[in-house]
Chain A
């Protein structure tokens, strides 16, 4: 079991049917308040990542010792840090790297998971057994442990942390993809296609792949949130991006020293991490519901 499998709703008992409880039963789920807010926040993040100067026209690294440690005010919405840099500007300028790290890590994890999961699901029982044992071994390095081991070997740094998070999430993806593949392959509609006389290649292209890959979109969305949290945790521990880089985790790490006097230095970067993760979860679930009811 991995964080992702729970977020994706795969942790529920296989026997219990998916409850059709509130929000109201209906043909197509409405776009809820949570999804709308999450979508807006995600748009804001993307804008901040693509054009940070437009969202916050200051210099994220510009030192201004005279205005150090200012509490949040109208001038400095999120306050300033020990060198007088505007926290809001830094948070906005840090969006790009945090988002990029999260996305790349997710792509790495998803890619590795796809390879492993597909091998296990498609190439017969021997490969399946082998891959499953490998996954069991990888799951024995829970959470950040695999990432830490990777960093031990390849040294700290942004690139290393990104790959490390990708690697650490890969077993979870692999297992989900394998399970999905196996269930689609043995589904009644694939059997029906066999009975119709469709060839293996056609069944694969028409039924198995689309039905296996569609949920990956949901997984990826959920995973980006998780990857951002993990990558910033590594940065916070001094193993990823390091201050004075405007990366959320690194900013939090820098603010740690001044926790007693300048809470805003830690609070706002962290808030963005939480909001990013929450919107990723809410959006992922929204997409999931839509796919199921479409």
Chain B
């Protein structure tokens, strides 16, 4: 033990393995750092029953990065934990072979596992805020493996911790080692977590969604750090839901779906010529570099003819047709439906200093277009959304909706009453759909409230709303094909008015229309949002936002907690709805790929200010501001 530990302590500097590039693997018989054959894992008292992971096999060579990609519930994390013997007390595990380095780990005792963990394999989890003990200094966390596996004294351990911190790009280790995870920034924390995992230079590192909670620029840095480890000879199993992220550093990709590996091959090949439908669907769903209007999913295409019919008939879309598919039309041609001028919102920080979360922000949203607002965490996007929705009062500036003042700095206390007349013109879609629903209510209740809630605003609605025209309804109804019938009828219904029909009956019909429009079956009406999937919840959220027949939709990170294919469905749905209903959309997101895909115009936010804005093509094609350029440079792209 002591000889080994001394060796591992010395081999900090690039060891012999580090010299071997991954491509040289073919030349000499290299022992893979991990070898998995026919692994199945499941939970429950009966081994073999209902597996979560089923018959998967893979190798990772030294200095190679294998990416295990799949959506939530595909079994990625269970696989990672199984490779550490940490699948849990209730788990069963079967495999033909499970080898870490030179020796197998199937059927070894818990004590034997403890000797292997940290030494033969390291683990990096997502979100280091909770993956590092918030009560202990990170230096101690990093020194843990040294304490457990070596006989280094306290001073030697400390020296090693400083060395590790320097290696993961945290200078001033003396200071950093004393801090707790809560005192570090997201990127620093993730670096410290990586330092803890590589403290003993394990030849194999499992990184489970290591960049998921991070901003795009920080994500790029962490990926670079992992790539650096790879160059030094560490074999990495990178687990991710994001094909674009893994594309940056993975040598090979294995796509996991419902517990099985459906496709495995070199990164370039998998990304360029995916063979399995699951891979193809995931690739198609990635919004980066997909032009505005291009569908991210295939399944909704049947409704296209109906949409075309609708588009031709709609005045707002006529402009589109002249100007091409989506490019921004001349500014003069469009009416401004939402306008913010000089918005400021200040907060008092815990230390007493005052900070402007939103600092002199102005923008205009034109009818029928999408304005994308993009920024990293802390840039003030969400505060901006709250100001626009008049959920927070601006300290300066004003928001105008359809030309009328909506939220003005220094307004009277009773202003909400007047604002309620305008509220139906604004629909809002939130990031966390679940918490935006009253937990006691069913989907039906939620929508009934929303439909009922518009009665207060009908006067404004009817005067401003001019795009409706009943003839559209009839034309569409006669031209739709069978598959699209339900959907398009739902959308037409969105524009039809209850009229003289019995009110409750009209409400019931409208709720059904709304569900139809967002592609949900009426059977969900009696369910509670808690029992729905993430995608279904967000669809209910969209249906609620549309209930008042708004002209403007405010979307605050509407897809950021969804899987990429579900995200694609929701983005397509939003695109369809915008087209069909002539909606104007303010789309707020941290994800540049999403923003690029959905926006006509883009504003980039940083530290509460808009640093750059313009037509999407211009901002993404020829960014002027250095920050925009840095952001764009960090975006993971396919291929």
Contacts and interface: CB of A to CB of B under 8 A. Distances in A.
B94 interface: no
Nearest to B427: A195
Interface string A240-253: 00000000000000
A126 interface: no
A194 B419 CA distance: 10
B440 A197 contact: no
Given A27-B531, A191-B391, A206-B449, A197 B436 contact: no
B544 interface: yes
A23 to B, nearest CB: 14
B426 interface: yes
Interface string A8-41: 0000000000000000000100000000000000
Given A27-B531, A191-B391, A196 B437 contact: no
B438 A195 contact: no
A126 to B, nearest CB: 15
Contacts of A195: 389, 391, 423, 426, 428
Q: With a 10 A CB-CB cut-off, give which of B421, B423, B426, B438 has the most chain A CB atoms.
A: B438
Contacts of B76: none
Contact of B435 (A187, A194, A196): A187
Interface stretch (A151-159, A173-181, A207-215): A207-215
A125 interface: no
B424 to A, nearest CB: 5
Q: With a 10 A CB-CB cut-off, give which of A194, A195, A210, A294 has the most chain B CB atoms.
A: A195
Contacts of A188: 430, 432, 435-436
A252 B36 CA distance: 69
A198 B417 CA distance: 10
Interface string A166-210: 000000000000000000000111011111111110000011001
Contacts of A192: 428, 430, 436-437, 544
Contacts of B435: 187-189
Interface string A75-112: 00000000000000000000000000000000000000
Contacts of A193: 438, 449, 453
Interface in A269-289: none
B440 A196 contact: no
B438 A197 contact: no
B424 A197 contact: yes
Nearest to A187: B435
Contacts of A206: 438, 449
B291 to A, nearest CB: 31
A214 B440 contact: yes
A211 B449 contact: no
Contact of B544 (A27, A194, A196, A200): A196
A125 to B, nearest CB: 14
Interface string B561-590: 000000000000000000000000000000
Contact of B456 (A197, A207, A211): A197
Contacts of B593: none
In this complex, the interface size class of chain A, counting residues with CB under 8 Å from chain B, is 20 to 34
A187 B457 CA distance: 24
Contact of A197 (B432, B439, B457): B457
B548 interface: yes
B543 interface: no
Contacts of B438: 189, 193, 206-207, 211
Please report whether the interface of chain A is mostly helix, strand, loop or mixed according to DSSP.
Answer: helix
Contacts of B389: 195
B420 interface: yes
Contacts of B423: 195-197
A109 B356 CA distance: 44
Nearest to B432: A188
Nearest to A189: B438
Nearest to A27: B531
Contact of A198 (B421, B432, B440, B453): B453
B391 A197 contact: no
B454 interface: yes
B456 A189 contact: no
B132 interface: no
Interface in B443-477: 449-450, 453-454, 456-457
Contacts of A207: 438
B319 to A, nearest CB: 29
A197 to B, nearest CB: 3
A285 to B, nearest CB: 18
A197 B437 contact: no
B548 A197 contact: yes
Contacts of B428: 192, 195
B90 to A, nearest CB: 10
A50 B595 CA distance: 68
Contact of A196 (B430, B450, B528): B450
A294 B442 CA distance: 10
Contacts of B432: 188
B42 to A, nearest CB: 15
A60 B125 CA distance: 67
Q: With a 10 A CB-CB cut-off, give which of A27, A196, A206 has the most chain B CB atoms.
A: A196
B444 to A, nearest CB: 14
Nearest to A195: B428
Contacts of B449: 193, 196, 198, 206
A200 B456 CA distance: 13
A187 B440 CA distance: 13
A207 B435 CA distance: 13
A210 B439 CA distance: 11
Q: With a 10 A CB-CB cut-off, give which of A188, A193, A207, A211 has the most chain B CB atoms.
A: A188
Contact of A211 (B420, B439, B453, B548): B439
A123 to B, nearest CB: 14
A272 to B, nearest CB: 36
Contacts of A194: 391, 416
A191 B426 CA distance: 13
Nearest to A292: B439
A116 to B, nearest CB: 25
A198 B419 CA distance: 11
A206 B450 CA distance: 12
Nearest to B431: A188
Interface in B536-550: 544, 547-548
30 contacts: A27-B531, A188-B432, A188-B436, A189-B436, A189-B437, A189-B438, A189-B439, A191-B436, A192-B430, A192-B437, A192-B544, A193-B449, A194-B391, A195-B391, A195-B423, A195-B426, A195-B428, A196-B424, A196-B454, A196-B544, A196-B548, A197-B421, A197-B424, A197-B453, A197-B456, A197-B457, A210-B440, A211-B439, A214-B440, A294-B528
Interface of B: 389, 391, 416, 420-421, 423-424, 426, 428, 430, 432, 435-440, 449-450, 453-454, 456-457, 528, 531, 544, 547-548
Which 7 A/B pairs are nearest by Cβ-Cβ distance? Answer: A197-B423, A188-B435, A196-B453, A192-B436, A188-B436, A189-B438, A195-B428
Given A189-B438, A197-B454, 11 more contacts: A187-B435, A189-B439, A192-B428, A194-B416, A195-B391, A196-B453, A196-B454, A197-B453, A198-B453, A200-B416, A211-B439
